[in-house]
């Protein structure tokens, strides 16, 4: 009988550790540590990407980014063919968002400056409703 109670006591700490990991450590990593790390990395590792534009709209979608969380302020949501969804938030305000969206929609191709980590992980972070944020853009050619 002592063998059974000894085994039962050994299993309890493992179950407790697993519960702590699932309830605190994993969510903490997913929703705090990893986003902060990606944002810090992206601030100093930007890459240019050139994308064919499908549409650009002003903040009508609820899209999140690592920089702003959700669509709390003015933004332009750009949907592209090969690059996926890109958010423009820096320098976007309620008075220029419409003009920026029109400029991008009227263009055939646009070059964005994006954070390398968020862009390379865009398929994975899209699962959480997060899209890469562009730090700037240049129209390559118009239509």
Q: Which sequence spans correspond to the domains of the chain?
A: 46-142
Distances (CA, A) of 117 to 44, 107, 131: 10, 26, 12
User: Predicted confidence band at 10 (pLDDT cuts at 50, 70, 90)?
Assistant: low
**Spatial distance between the Cα atoms of 73 and 57, rounded to a whole number of angstroms:** 14
pLDDT of residue 138: 95
Biggest CA pair distance of the chain: 81
pLDDT tens column, 76-90: 999 999 999 999 988
- Return mean pLDDT, the chain: 82
What CATH number belongs to 46-142?
2.40.50
Quick one: what percent of the chain has pLDDT higher than 70?
A: 79
- Share of residues in the chain with pLDDT > 90 (%): 48
The residues that bridge with 38 in the sheet, in sequence order, are: none
Of 52, 43, 59, nearest in space to 135 by CA: 43
Residue 66's pLDDT band, with cuts at 50, 70 and 90, is low
> CA separation (Å) from 125 to 3, 93, 121, 128?
47, 25, 6, 5
pLDDT digits (tens, 9 = 90+) for 79-125: 999 999 999 988 898 899 999 999 999 999 999 999 999 999 999 88
Q: Which of 96, 46, 100 is closest to 78 using CA atoms? A: 100
3-state DSSP helix/strand/coil % of the chain, to nearest 5: 45, 30, 25
Maximum mean pLDDT: which of 6-15, 41-50, 61-70 = 41-50
Which band of pLDDT confidence, cut at 50, 70 and 90, is reported for residue 136? very high
């Amino acid at each position: 009988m002592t063998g059974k109670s000894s085994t039962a006591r050994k299993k309890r700490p493992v179950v407790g550790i697993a519960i702590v990991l699932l309830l605190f450590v994993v969510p903490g990593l997913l929703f705090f540590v990893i986003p902060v790390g990606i944002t810090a990395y992206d601030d100093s590792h930007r890459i240019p990407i050139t994308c064919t534009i499908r549409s650009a709209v002003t903040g009508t979608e609820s899209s999140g980014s690592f920089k702003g969380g959700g669509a709390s302020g003015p933004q332009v949501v750009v949907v592209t063919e090969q690059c996926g969804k890109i958010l423009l938030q820096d320098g976007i305000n309620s008075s220029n968002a419409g003009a920026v969206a029109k400029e991008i929609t009227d263009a055939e191709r646009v070059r964005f400056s994006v954070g390398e980590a968020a862009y390379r992980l865009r398929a994975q972070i899209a699962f959480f409703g997060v899209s890469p944020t562009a730090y700037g853009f240049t129209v390559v050619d118009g239509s």
